[in-house]
């Protein structure tokens, strides 16, 4: 059953992505000022959205663990955060490449970029911390604390383009500010978001099951040592 | 314009590369976990002490 | 009651520190050395140095502070003092507040001594009117460093890789506050008006203090 869901999602996402890429590359014109490079937005924005949502979801799941002490919340939190970190990496990388053309530099120390990089570092530290703690309950507790504190930074990053004058472009999605993009150009962002979200879901499912394996191994090891 | 297209392809390649690397990582971890799980399961069934 | 408990813990830490002066000496020496080395690396009188005076100062504070914060809970591990503290009727929040206050005092003292070193070596035109705002920025910034550092000192105290994990976790978390403090300090030392950093730093302090006090029990006890 689970296999079927994964394969189904993968096929759906793959097809959606292929269709969307077709739209992006054939139907849409080049942007006036940016040329071809603007199409990176169709990966950059969805990846960062998924990253931020992932960190936020990780925080909620961490709080879920802290209130219920059920390790399955922790497993889900870790999986979601790890996948979110991957998408944040994609966001940082694609943003950097875009910036090389548009701003002339690979990196700029403006608030949005800096705070997002900080988030990446914090949640990278989250994963490192998880590996450093042996006992599952202690690991879950510590990870939960880092997750909550780190999400504060994610929120700062999200709001940064509103609170400060940044080099990073202002919100262009109609969800946030009424729309600054040409009509045909905005929809593919959402389609890509959907496709990438499906991939993210698959990765999270695989990862969660790996956490379950790890828990089982741990339990069995204790049984063996007890004998 | 040409440089633009080049970098756009670079950007897309970077995105997919990162994704690919992560999938490889996950697959390797899955294999390692399954092997360990089988090993420990066997140890439980046939305690040799 | 809570305040009395926190104060007792703070006093204990400060007394212990005053007796040995380990962290104080290490921290102060480190801070002065960094400032000195940087004055050799760059020409201190040039105009460009003014631009990163704030950055340099807070980098120094952050690194020197790490020496103090690292020891905060680590010093309790010997002789099971930490277990005794946790087992005692003192709530974890009071324990945390006491330690944070002590750390803040120690850090602030080091900073107060390091600031004239910076002003002297880097020929920063200092006017009396800068003193008040500077103290305010130092207080807010140092509190942010202290709160985060003390919480993570508690978290990492029993980890195998404490020396590695503490900086890895703490520095990224501190960066927003550090950047705000750096910007404010540079503006102050250059005689420019202060921007919105003060509001941000205050909000940051409040939020992270609340979070730390809420979570310290989870971290120490479970």
Residue with tokens 């010997």: C78
Query: Who wins on pLDDT, C53 or A131?
Result: A131
As a whole number, the mean pLDDT across chain C is 87
Taking an 8 Å cut-off on Cβ atoms, the answer to whether A101 and B49 are in contact is: no
pLDDT < 50 positions in chain A? none
Inside any domain, residue B2 = no
- Nearest chain C CA: its distance from A95 CA (Å): 20
Partner C contacted by A144 (CB < 8 A): yes
Query: Who wins on pLDDT, A104 or B17?
Result: B17
C chain contacts of residue A66, beta-carbon cutoff 8 Å: 218
Which of C222, C67, B46 has the alpha carbon at shortest distance from A136?
A: C222
Contact at 8 Å (CB) between B11 and A37? yes
Question: Which residues, listed in sequence order, are joined to residue A31 by a DSSP beta bridge?
Answer: A35
Q: B6 to each of A41, A106, B3, B10, C127, how far by Cα in Å?
A: 15, 15, 5, 6, 55
- Domain residues for the domain of B46 are 19-49
- Nearest chain B CA: its distance from A167 CA (Å): 20
Partner A contacted by C155 (CB < 8 A): yes
Partner A contacted by B25 (CB < 8 A): no
Inside any domain, residue B36 = yes
Q: What is the pTM of this model?
A: 0.90
Nearest CA in chain C to A118: C172
The rounded distance, in Å, linking the Cα atoms of A120 and A150 is: 9
Res. B6: pLDDT tops 60: yes
Structurally, chain C folds into a number of domains equal to 1
Which of C15, C212, C204, C174 has the alpha carbon at shortest distance from C95?
A: C212
* pLDDT per position as a tens digit, B24-43: 999 999 999 999 999 988 88
Inside any domain, residue B37 = yes
Q: Residue A68 has which token pair?
A: 């219920």
Taking an 8 Å cut-off on Cβ atoms, the answer to whether C169 and A132 are in contact is: no
Q: C86 to each of C19, C74, C94, how far by Cα in Å?
A: 24, 14, 11
Residue A35 main-chain phi, psi, to 5 deg:
80, -145
Structurally, chain B folds into a number of domains equal to 1
* pLDDT per position as a tens digit, C153-208: 999 988 888 888 999 999 999 999 999 999 898 888 877 777 778 889 999 999 99
- Nearest chain A CA: its distance from C99 CA (Å): 19
Residue with tokens 């998408």: A87
Instruction: Give me the domains of chain A, ranges plus CATH numbers.
Output: 2-165+181-226 (1.20.120)
Res. B1: pLDDT tops 60: no
């Amino acid at each position: 059953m689970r296999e079927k869901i994964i394969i189904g999602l993968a096929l759906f996402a793959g097809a959606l992505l292929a269709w969307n890429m077709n739209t992006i590359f054939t139907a849409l014109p080049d942007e006036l000022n940016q040329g071809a490079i603007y199409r990176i937005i169709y990966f950059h924005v969805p990846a960062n959205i998924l990253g931020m949502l992932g960190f936020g979801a990780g925080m909620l799941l961490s709080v879920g663990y802290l209130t219920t002490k059920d390790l399955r919340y922790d497993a889900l939190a870790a999986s979601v955060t790890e996948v979110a970190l991957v998408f944040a990496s994609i966001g940082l990388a694609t943003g950097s490449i875009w910036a090389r053309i548009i701003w002339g530099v690979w990196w700029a120390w403006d608030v949005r970029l800096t705070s997002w990089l900080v988030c990446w570092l914090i949640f990278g530290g989250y994963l490192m911390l998880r590996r450093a703690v042996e006992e599952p309950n202690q690991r879950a507790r510590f990870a939960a604390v880092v997750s909550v504190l780190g999400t504060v930074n994610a929120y700062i990053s999200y709001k940064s383009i509103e609170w400060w004058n940044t080099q990073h472009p202002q919100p262009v999605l109609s969800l946030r500010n009424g729309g600054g993009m040409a009509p045909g150009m905005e929809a593919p962002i959402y389609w890509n978001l959907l496709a990438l979200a499906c991939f993210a879901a698959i990765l999270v499912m695989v990862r969660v099951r790996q956490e379950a394996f790890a828990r089982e191994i741990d339990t069995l090891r204790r049984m063996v040592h007890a004998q | 314009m040409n440089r633009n297209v080049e970098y756009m392809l670079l950007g897309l390649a970077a995105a997919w590369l990162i994704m690919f690397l992560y999938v490889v990582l996950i697959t390797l971890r899955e294999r390692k976990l399954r092997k360990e799980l089988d090993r420990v399961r066997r140890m439980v069934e046939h305690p040799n002490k | 009651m809570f305040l009395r408990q926190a104060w007792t813990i703070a006093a204990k830490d400060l007394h212990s520190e005053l007796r040995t002066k380990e962290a104080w000496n290490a921290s102060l020496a480190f801070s002065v050395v960094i400032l000195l080395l940087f004055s050799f690396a760059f020409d201190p009188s040039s105009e460009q140095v003014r631009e990163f005076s704030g950055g340099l100062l807070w980098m120094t504070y952050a690194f020197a502070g790490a020496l103090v914060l690292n020891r905060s809970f680590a010093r309790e591990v010997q002789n099971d003092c930490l277990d005794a503290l946790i087992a005692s009727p003192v709530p974890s929040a009071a324990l945390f507040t006491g330690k944070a206050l002590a750390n803040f005092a120690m850090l602030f003292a080091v900073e107060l001594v390091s600031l004239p070193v910076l002003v002297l070596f880097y020929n920063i035109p200092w006017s009396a009117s800068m003193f008040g705002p500077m103290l305010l920025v130092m207080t807010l910034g140092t509190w942010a460093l202290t709160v985060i550092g003390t919480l993570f000192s508690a978290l990492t105290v029993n980890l195998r890789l404490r020396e590695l994990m503490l900086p890895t976790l703490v520095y990224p978390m501190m960066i927003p506050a550090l950047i705000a403090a750096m910007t404010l300090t540079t503006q102050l030392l250059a005689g420019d008006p202060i921007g919105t950093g003060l509001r941000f730093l205050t909000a940051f302090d409040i939020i992270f203090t609340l979070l730390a006090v809420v979570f310290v029990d989870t971290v120490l006890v479970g």
